Amino acid sequence: MENVRADFTSGRSMEPALEGADALYLNLAGVGDPETAVQLVGAAAALGVRRIVMLSSYAVTDTALDEENILLKMHAMVERVVRDSGLEWTLVRSGGLAANTLPWAEPIRATGVVRGPNASVAQALVHEADIAAVSTQALLDASGTHQGTVYRLTGPESLTPVHRAHFSSKDPRRHPPRRLGESMTAAAPSGAGTSPRRRTALTNVRVFDGRELRAPGTVVIDGDRIGTGPSRAREIDGGGAVLPPGLIDAHVHLSSADNLRQLCEHGVTTALDMAAWPTDLVDSLRNVPGLTDIRSAGTLAISADGIHATMEGIPKDSIVTGPADAERFVAARVAEGSDYNKIVAESPGSGGLDQATLNALVAAARTRSWTQD
């Protein structure tokens, strides 16, 4: 193994660093900027490098949405250059990196407290060793197995920063996790004490109480609680505007992140999806930062003889053949991560599920502490 130093900011040719190489591992964060990455890809092609493996972002969608976020736009642009380079290519789209949690070590040791933003946003962080294992397989592959393939990597479990701080502590039993809204103050058990939750007071705002629009007053957000006592709170003047609650849309059918954006623009902070598939689509719409939160039924339960069975695109797995098939259907919904069951009971004589099957579906769901719509 020969180490070659390359300074991508020097303005010098990149070709000496690539001479003799037959594969290139491209990390946009390591290169510094997309323009330099594009130059590096061009130099690799000119020198006869055979394949490129690029570490990209899990959030890239290959849709117009990529143009609306600067980080996604950069990754998507370099991905296109890699695809069009004429070389063999593999894209490794990784979720959040577990190594980004390492800076927490010092504050945990020093004060026992970790502070940071987006405490309620859950991520399934990926360990760098897993990224390395996948990337190495693609880099060393001469058979073409990974050619033209996009791999999406996530960690084994989705956790919020508060839970990660909790599990990073020396004795997590002493400090159970707490949900602290969008600002995070998570205590580790170093004995150094804890910091109070950040409180925000929205002053001079009008609230509709269900009967009337009240005169301007103060609303205090204290972690996951709402009150009126502004003591020791950071104040934001609402200028007499109306402060609406987060609305819940109890019946939607989701097909893309555009649906979440439209809901969010209309003040809907939670949406209950009443049938969407495939599972990958539903998973991609969960826990999207800045957009409406969702719960989903996933695949719905229908009869083979009802009108829903004639609709284009209905999954075959939707059909429940009778009471004995109810447990199979519910177990499949649990396995795919659905939050509840959507059961279609059509009007009598319309070929829908019979009463015995409906009862069996409800009973199977209840054994799993589920609800039905």
**Per the domain annotation, does 103 fall within a domain?**
no
- Structure tokens that stand for 343 in this block: 């059961």
Find the radius of gyration of the CA atoms of the chain.
26
**Which residues, other chains included, contact 125 with Cβ-Cβ below 8 Å and sequence gap of 6+?**
95, 96, 97, 98, 100, 101, 155, 159, 164
**Per the domain annotation, does 193 fall within a domain?**
no
Pairing of strands 113-117, 183-187: antiparallel
Pairing of strands 225-227, 51-57: unpaired
pLDDT tens, 159-203? 778 777 766 654 444 343 333 333 333 343 333 333 445 688 999
Q: Is the dihedral of CA 13, 34, 280, 180 positive or negative?
A: positive
pLDDT exceeds 50 at position 327: yes
Domain tally, the chain: 3
Q: State the DSSP string of 187-237.
A: E-SSSS---PPPEEEEEEEB-B-SS-BPPSEEEEEETTEEES--TT-EEEE
137 and 54 belong to one structural domain: yes
142 and 42 belong to one structural domain: yes
pLDDT average, residue stretch 276-295: 90
Q: Residue 34 belongs to what H/E stretch?
A: helix 34-46
pLDDT exceeds 80 at position 224: no
Note if the pTM is more than 0.75: no
CATH of the domain at 282: 3.20.20.140
Q: Residue 306 belongs to what H/E stretch?
A: none
Higher pLDDT, 116 or 86: 86
Higher pLDDT, 187 or 96: 96
Nearest residue to 104 (alpha-carbon basis) of 165, 187, 175: 165
pLDDT average, residue stretch 94-101: 88
The confidence score (pLDDT) of residue 191 equals 37
* Residue burial 170-192, b: 16+ Cβ < 10 Å; e: rest: eeeeebeebebbebbbbbbbbee
**Per the domain annotation, does 40 fall within a domain?**
yes
pLDDT exceeds 70 at position 71: yes
Asked if residue 170 lies in contact with residue 191, where contact means CB atoms within 8 angstroms, the answer is no
Single-letter residue type at 195:
S
- Give the percent of the chain with pLDDT over 70: 86
Residue 81's pLDDT band, with cuts at 50, 70 and 90, is very high
Alpha carbon distance 353, 164 (integer Å): 45
pLDDT exceeds 90 at position 68: no
How buried is residue 299: exposed, middle or buried, by Cβ count under 10 Å (0-12/13-18/19+)? buried
26 and 138 belong to one structural domain: yes
β-bridge mates for residue 89, sequence order: 52
267 and 227 belong to one structural domain: no
pLDDT tens, 122-152? 788 899 999 999 999 999 988 889 999 999 9
pLDDT average, residue stretch 296-321: 91
352 and 268 belong to one structural domain: yes
Q: Residue 239 belongs to what H/E stretch?
A: none
87 and 212 belong to one structural domain: no
pLDDT average, residue stretch 77-87: 94
Asked if residue 284 lies in contact with residue 258, where contact means CB atoms within 8 angstroms, the answer is no
The confidence score (pLDDT) of residue 229 equals 76
21 and 53 belong to one structural domain: yes
User: Could you list the residue range(s) of the whole structural domain that residue 51 is in?
Assistant: 15-94+124-153
CATH of the domain at 143: 3.40.50.720
The confidence score (pLDDT) of residue 199 equals 83
- Structure tokens that stand for 161 in this block: 């920063």
